[in-house]
Amino acid sequence: MPLVSLDNTITLAMSVRDRHASADWYAAKLGFELIHHIDEAGWSEMQTKTAGVTLGLGEQTEPAPGNTVPVFGVADIKTARDALETAGVRFDGDTETIEGMVSTATFYDPDGNALMLAQDLSKS
């Protein structure tokens, strides 16, 4: 039995230099549709062609962009994080919250790959 109950969604969070230019590229080249640009958070989201899978574009210049982090949706980030930490899963710092939008927590698999939990606060 899994420790955490995940939603049927995943966001692939990707570091990019220019979110708006990247969103245009993904729309033109792969047919992804813009969900929104959240300029104050440096974040954009695109709907992919796969149900439940979105592409998140986070603006970053240093270190160089080029990484991707799977972000798993959860209903209650505190419960999910507590269960994983109790099982010895290593997290990177505190849970971060943008009020009214999202709470996120980065954690690592045994090989050091970054993964993230996210609770959508806009649904609350």
| Residue 47 is assigned to a structural domain of this protein | yes
| CA 25 centroid distance within chain | 20
Chunked into runs of 10 residues, the chain (124 residues) has average pLDDT values of: 89 91 92 94 94 92 78 95 95 95 93 90 80
Contact of 27 with 97, CB cutoff 8 Å: no
Q: In total, how many domains does the chain have?
A: 1
- Look at residue 110 in the predicted model and tell me its pLDDT: 82
Contact of 102 with 44, CB cutoff 8 Å: no
| Residue 32 is assigned to a structural domain of this protein | yes
Q: Which domain range does residue 66 map to? A: 6-123
- Look at residue 66 in the predicted model and tell me its pLDDT: 73
- Look at residue 15 in the predicted model and tell me its pLDDT: 87
Contact of 77 with 95, CB cutoff 8 Å: yes
Q: What pTM did the predictor assign?
A: 0.78
| Residue 65 is assigned to a structural domain of this protein | yes
- Look at residue 124 in the predicted model and tell me its pLDDT: 62
Strand, helix or coil at 123?
Answer: helix
| Residue 1 is assigned to a structural domain of this protein | no
Q: What is the CATH number of the domain that holds 100?
A: 3.10.180.10
